[in-house]
């Protein structure tokens, strides 16, 4: 399952470790545990029985000489049974591990420790690592520590309780990076706790994370209504593809996050949604939303009502949200304002700006479940619906290029056609 996308890992870094560090070929966890690893060292797991193994990868590498854990046949030597991995150190790289044919009772399949920093999981996979009961709760990847990265991996088929990948917060921002991964189909869980990515928790939601989620594929991730749940501050979700996902990207808690230049393609699948806004100073800009069927909380862009004097786990008021330069095409409902209003969610959004968006062939333009305060709607281009205040007749022409509609004078290839993602997407990209 090796993917050609592994960035420089198989060339520059690896050559340095061969020259400057030792190469250890191991056949058991006991051999790994016995090693005292130094910068530049490389550990290579050999073919054999890697069932029910608890790997603890420890060491302190450097930026120039990370310590690498890989296998003799990346992607083909599989960790099975109840195997899991803990990454515990600095400048550690895990490359080419594959978890399959197994499950845990609790905990994490892959865990970056609380003291880890500048560590990386790349070119690895967790596929259908499911317990007999979907009520069993464990995470596939847990990111503690700071400045860690998960990239070019495959995570497909999680059907049980627990978020697929969690960023756990601490007193200081963690600055993690999650990029170029393929998050494959996840069936509906029919319960809360089926997010694909969660950044933070409600208890830590007023802390900042500064996590970057970019250039990932979310393919039919239907676990629950929140595909990505942002529960912290100052995060960026940028240039990802959400393909036929039953749910929304949700600013659930926290403030000052950005959702930029993402693609939401629903193909008229039931319950496909876009972006749901809660909290203060959130930014939604440059996103492409096409063929989404959701309304209300699952509208292309939904701006929620809040509760008065909320607890950390409740709905906080939307303040100063910027919604600009988004393209909303052939969706059931473009904007739902004051969505989720009920007997307790009575606090209306305040200071929402909806400016410079492009909306086409979307019958429900703006639905007011409640009336926001200080609402600004200006210079939004509209085709295929009745003009109303804040909307003007379209002035820019669209053409279909590389499978998506684009402005005629600003064509670009979507990232999934030019960049390397996880192996499973690479094999399937021609079908999308």
pLDDT at 230: 98
Q: What is the DSSP string of 265-325?
A: E-TT-TT---EEE-SBS-EEES-EEES----GGGSSEEEE-EESS--TTSPPPPBS-EEES
pLDDT at 423: 72
Distinct helix (H) and strand (E) counts, the chain: 4, 43
- Whether the pLDDT of residue 7 is over 60: the answer is no
Confidence of residue 430 (pLDDT cuts 50, 70, 90): low
Return the structure tokens found at 362.
């979307």
Q: What is the DSSP string of 199-258?
A: EE-GGGTTSB---EEES-EEESB-SSSEEEEEESBS-EEES-EEES-SSEEEEEE-SS-E
pLDDT at 386: 86
> How far apart (Å, rounded) are the C-alpha atoms in residues 426 and 236?
25
> How far apart (Å, rounded) are the C-alpha atoms in residues 273 and 257?
19
Nearest to 154 by CA among 219, 68, 235: 219
> How far apart (Å, rounded) are the C-alpha atoms in residues 287 and 264?
8
Mean pLDDT in the chain? 93
Q: Please check whether residue 48 is in contact with residue 76, taking contact to mean a CB–CB distance below 8 angstroms.
A: no
Residues 6+ apart with CB under 8 A from 15: none
Q: Please check whether residue 284 is in contact with residue 323, taking contact to mean a CB–CB distance below 8 angstroms.
A: yes
Confidence of residue 1 (pLDDT cuts 50, 70, 90): very low
> How far apart (Å, rounded) are the C-alpha atoms in residues 18 and 1?
23
pLDDT at 384: 84
The alpha carbon of residue 340 and the mean position of all alpha carbons in its chain are separated, in whole angstroms, by 24
Instruction: Name the pTM for this structure.
Output: 0.94
Q: What is the DSSP string of 251-267?
A: EEE-SS-EEES-EEE-T
Q: Please check whether residue 295 is in contact with residue 333, taking contact to mean a CB–CB distance below 8 angstroms.
A: yes
> How far apart (Å, rounded) are the C-alpha atoms in residues 83 and 101?
10
Terminal CA-to-CA distance of the chain, rounded, Å? 21
> What is the per-residue pLDDT across 172-220, written as a single tens digit (0 to 9) for each?
999 999 999 999 999 999 888 999 999 999 999 999 999 999 999 999 9
Can you tell me the mean pLDDT for 107-133? 97
> What is the per-residue pLDDT across 31-89, written as a single tens digit (0 to 9) for each?
999 999 999 999 999 999 999 999 999 999 999 999 999 999 988 999 999 999 999 99
Domains (ranges, CATH) in the chain? 28-417 (2.160.20.10)
How much of the chain is helix, strand and coil, in % rounded to 5?
A: 10, 40, 50
pLDDT at 125: 96
- Whether the pLDDT of residue 237 is over 60: the answer is yes
Q: What is the DSSP string of 77-137?
A: SEEEET-EEEEEEESEEEES-EEEEE--SSSEEEEE-TT-BS-EEES-EEES---SSTT--
Confidence of residue 294 (pLDDT cuts 50, 70, 90): very high
- Whether the pLDDT of residue 288 is over 50: the answer is yes
Q: Residues of the chain with pLDDT > 90: what percent?
A: 90
Q: Could you say which DSSP state residue 351 is in?
A: S
Can you tell me the mean pLDDT for 11-33? 73
- Whether the pLDDT of residue 426 is over 80: the answer is no
Q: What are phi and psi of 429, to 5 degrees?
A: -60, -30
Confidence of residue 2 (pLDDT cuts 50, 70, 90): very low
Sign of dihedral through CA atoms 183, 163, 327, 321? negative
pLDDT at 18: 42
Lowest mean pLDDT among 86-95, 149-158, 371-380, 416-425: 416-425
Please compute Rg for the chain using Cα positions.
22
- Whether the pLDDT of residue 225 is over 80: the answer is yes
> How far apart (Å, rounded) are the C-alpha atoms in residues 112 and 142?
6
């Amino acid at each position: 399952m090796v993917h050609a996308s592994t960035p420089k890992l198989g060339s520059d870094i690896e050559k340095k470790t061969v020259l400057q560090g030792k190469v250890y070929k191991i056949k058991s966890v006991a051999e790994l545990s016995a090693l005292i690893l130094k910068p530049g060292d490389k550990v290579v797991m050999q073919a054999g029985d890697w069932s029910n193994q608890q790997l603890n990868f420890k060491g302190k590498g450097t930026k120039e000489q990370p310590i690498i854990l890989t296998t003799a046949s990346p992607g083909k030597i599989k960790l099975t049974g109840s195997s899991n991995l803990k990454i515990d150190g600095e400048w550690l790289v895990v490359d080419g591990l594959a978890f399959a044919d197994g499950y845990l009772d609790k905990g994490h399949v892959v865990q970056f420790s609380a003291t880890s920093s500048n560590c990386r999981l790349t070119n690895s996979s967790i596929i259908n690592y499911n317990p007999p009961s979907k009520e069993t709760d464990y995470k596939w990847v847990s990111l503690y520590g700071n400045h860690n990265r998960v990239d070019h991996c495959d995570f497909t088929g999680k059907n049980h309780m627990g978020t697929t990948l969690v960023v756990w917060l601490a007193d200081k921002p963690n600055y993690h990076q999650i990029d170029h991964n393929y998050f494959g189909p996840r069936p509906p869980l029919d319960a809360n706790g089926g997010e694909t990515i969660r950044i933070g928790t409600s208890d830590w939601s007023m802390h900042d994370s500064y996590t970057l989620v970019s250039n990932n594929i979310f393919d039919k991730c239907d676990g629950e209504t929140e595909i990505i749940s942002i529960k912290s501050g100052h995060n960026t979700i940028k240039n990802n593809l959400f393909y036929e996902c039953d749910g929304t990207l949700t600013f659930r808690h926290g403030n000052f996050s950005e959702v930029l230049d993402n693609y939401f393609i629903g193909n008229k699948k039931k319950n496909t949604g876009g972006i749901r806004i809660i909290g203060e100073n959130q930014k939604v800009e440059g996103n492409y939303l096409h063929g989404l069927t959701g309304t209300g909380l699952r509208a292309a862009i939904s701006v929620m009502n809040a509760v008065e004097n909320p607890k950390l786990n409740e709905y906080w008021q939307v303040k100063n949200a910027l919604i600009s330069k988004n393209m909303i095409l052939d969706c059931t409902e473009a904007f739902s304002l004051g969505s989720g209003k009920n007997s307790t969610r009575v606090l209306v959004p305040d200071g929402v700006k909806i400016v410079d968006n492009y909306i086409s062939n979307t019958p429900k333009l703006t639905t007011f479940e409640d009336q926001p305060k200080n609402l600004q709607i200006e210079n939004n281009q509209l085709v295929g619906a009745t003009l109303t205040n804040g909307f003007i007749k379209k002035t820019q022409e669209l053409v279909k290029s590389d499978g998506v509609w684009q402005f005629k004078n600003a064509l670009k290839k979507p990232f999934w056609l030019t960049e390397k993602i996880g192996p499973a997407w690479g094999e399937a990209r021609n079908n999308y």
